[in-house]
Amino acid sequence: MTRGLPILLAVTVVAYAGLWTAGFVWDDIPLVVNNHALRDATLGAVFTSDLWASSGAGDVASGYYRPLVLVSFAVDRWFVDLNPLGYHLHSLGWHLLAMVGLHRLCLPLVDRSTALFAVALFGLHPVQSEVVAWVSARNDLMAAALGFFALSMVWVDDRPGPARGVAAAFLTVCAGLSKETALLLPLLLGAADGCRGRTEGMAARQMPL
């Protein structure tokens, strides 16, 4: 970790200081505040049903299967009940973790200053404000953080060892259980390898994902 990264993370926290007084909005009400699965701690239902099945929105079939984000909401409910600050701090933590994962992913590709600039652009760009400030959008933050770390496990070595492969596979599954966009991880790795003309060991890097 370069010295500049902790400073950048601190700047990001300051940039999102408005979260300290933010509340729940829009989908947060049915998915978080009125969600029966979270209120009754029925985590079994979380892993066997639609994202919206136990929400306060009635009989809704969204087709989304994102159990890990619901588990994260259940953890929040357990520790802070319905205090929005705890939920927002949790989401911000995932955003900071994604920044660390992206930094880890960039370092083998570019020099430290360029890697830090890429992370700053990712972490502080206004387009990120919705997923950071909107509790219900935490699935994007979780999928990004877990996905970046999964990619970093197999990116550096031409043929990653068994430990890295298992870790990458586990992180990929967790990213997919957060949001289905994690299905793009093998494509992202393949595109990056193609741009670098890196073909040796491509199958070994792709398998864990």
pLDDT number for residue 20: 92
Q: For residues 71-104, b (16+ Cβ closer than 10 Å) or e, as one string?
A: bbbbebbeeeeeebeebbbbbbebbbbbbbbbbb
pLDDT number for residue 41: 60
pLDDT number for residue 57: 58
Contact at 8 Å (CB) between 24 and 137? no
Question: Quick check: helix, strand or coil at residue 81?
Answer: coil
Contact at 8 Å (CB) between 87 and 32? yes
Question: For the CA atoms of 57, 60, 62, 66, what is the dihedral angle to 10 degrees?
Answer: 60
Per-10-residue mean pLDDT, the chain, length 209: 84 94 89 80 74 67 83 90 94 96 87 92 94 93 94 76 87 92 86 74 78
Q: How many residues can be counted in the chain?
A: 209
Contact at 8 Å (CB) between 12 and 96? yes
pLDDT number for residue 171: 94
For residue 201, the 8-state DSSP code is T
